[in-house]
Amino acid sequence: EVQLVESGGGLVQPGRSLKLSCAASGFTFSNYYMAWVRQAPKKGLEWVATISTSGSRTYYPDSVKGRFTISRDNAKSSLYLQMNSLKSEDTATYYCARQPAFFDYWGQGVMVTVSS
């Protein structure tokens, strides 16, 4: 059974940093692109970052480019999202997702609140 479990969320002040983690199990992690998708409270879904199988290629929308960094450790079947210079508009639930093309499995999500 595919499982994705996020951790690392919480309350953080504007301008500070936070790192999210996602522990994957139930599939061969190194064979899949992985992604982060977020959802602001009562809002829709926004893709945040994608990483290739080896980690050599990463992709970001303009809204987070230069502030967020996605990475992975295939030996640990883990995905990460380093978030720097956080803004109030980054407040959201962050989901880890497997991405063969579409997002076929999602974690339960972790809440990040950016507020002073």
Partner 1 sequence: DIQMTQSPASLSASLGETVTIECRASEDIYSNLAWYQQKPGNSPQLLIYDANSLADGVPSRFSGSGSGTQYSLKINSLQSEDVASYFCQQYNNYPWTFGGGTKLELK
* Residues paired with 95 in a beta bridge: 37
Query: Which of 81, 70, 103, 79 has the alpha carbon at shortest distance from 24?
Result: 79
State the amino acid at position 24 in one-letter form: A
Residue 22 is encoded by which pair of tokens? 């996602």
Name the one range near partner 1 by CB under 8 A: 18-26, 41-49, 70-78, 81-89.
41-49
Specify the residue, 64 or 114, whose C-beta has the smaller distance to partner 1: 64
Specify the residue, 13 or 99, whose C-beta has the smaller distance to partner 1: 99
SS3 88: helix
Name the one range near partner 1 by CB under 8 A: 7-15, 21-29, 69-77, 96-104.
96-104
Residue 31 is encoded by which pair of tokens? 């064979």
**Is residue 53 within the footprint of partner 1 (CB under 8 A)?**
no
Interface with partner 1 (CB under 8 A): 37, 44-47, 50, 59, 61-62, 95, 101-109
